[in-house]
């Protein structure tokens, strides 16, 4: 975790600029299509609500943690909105009640080997919604023990960055879920929420797409594929037709 905001945002721009359009999607989109064929949740009504979204899954304390954490992972600055302004907490909350959130995309029977490398697949007996519930509690408990009774959301930004960095590198011991696993889930979902189609609750105002020049769900932008470095002249379009 770096305290310098711009390198973090520059990394996101560089990473997403080379990702094929088909892969810039959300866990919700994949899970709904794969498991129950339901239409994706429509976020147009919440687009104007900003941070007024009321979480369906997360408790008030968990919601405060989530807002504080994503704000440190992708902070807003002069180059554009951050994860909080882009509605990433809403995106993650919506994810928790999808097949993805309930762990229906994976084999969830034993044996479980949480210490195996991540490239060998998911190895926990916890669904993503449970990873968040246990991980947030463990992180807040850790912070209260070391920061005069304060949970993560009440820490100074530098202290929040320090805690996130310790989680990232597995330097904190959590009981129910490894700290590094929780951090990986949080970071992955934060990036998804920042760059997924706005119909899933995040990427409000198509802030993530505008930052990297991604055209969104436009039917045709083939004329620009063979023009590396050329700035795409039109704004992005959501799956539901909204324009950014």
- How many residues are there in the chain? 244
Q: Which of 4-13, 20-29, 207-216 has the lowest mean pLDDT?
A: 20-29
pLDDT at 34 over 60: no
**Whole-angstrom distance, CA of residue 105 vs CA of residue 101:** 9
Average pLDDT, integer, range 111-136: 82
Total H helices, total E strands in the chain: 9, 0
pTM over 0.85, yes/no? no
Answer whether residue 65 shows pLDDT above 90: yes
**Which pair of tokens denotes residue 141?**
């408990």
Average pLDDT for 115-119: 69
């Amino acid at each position: 975790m770096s305290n310098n905001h711009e390198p973090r945002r520059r990394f996101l721009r560089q990473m997403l600029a080379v990702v094929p359009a088909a892969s810039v999607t959300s866990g919700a989109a994949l899970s709904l299509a794969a498991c129950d064929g339901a239409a994706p949740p429509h976020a147009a009504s919440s687009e104007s609500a900003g941070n007024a979204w009321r979480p369906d899954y997360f408790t008030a304390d968990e919601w405060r943690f989530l807002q504080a954490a994503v704000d440190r992972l992708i902070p807003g600055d002069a180059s554009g909105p951050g994860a909080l302004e882009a509605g990433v907490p809403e995106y993650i909350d919506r994810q928790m009640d999808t097949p993805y959130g309930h762990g229906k995309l994976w084999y969830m029977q034993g044996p479980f080997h949480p210490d195996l490398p991540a490239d060998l697949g998911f190895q926990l007996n916890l669904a993503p919604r449970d990873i968040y519930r246990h991980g947030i509690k463990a992180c807040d408990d850790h912070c209260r023990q070391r920061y005069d009774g304060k949970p993560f959301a009440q820490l100074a930004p530098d202290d929040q960055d320090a805690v996130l960095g310790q989680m990232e590198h597995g330097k904190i011991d959590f009981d129910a879920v490894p700290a590094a696993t929780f951090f990986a889930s949080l970071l992955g979902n934060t990036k998804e929420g920042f760059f997924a189609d706005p119909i899933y609750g995040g990427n409000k105002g198509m802030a993530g797409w505008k930052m990297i020049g991604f055209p969104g769900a436009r039917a045709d932008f083939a004329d620009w594929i063979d023009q590396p470095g050329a700035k795409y002249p039109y704004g992005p379009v959501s799956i539901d037709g909204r324009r950014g």
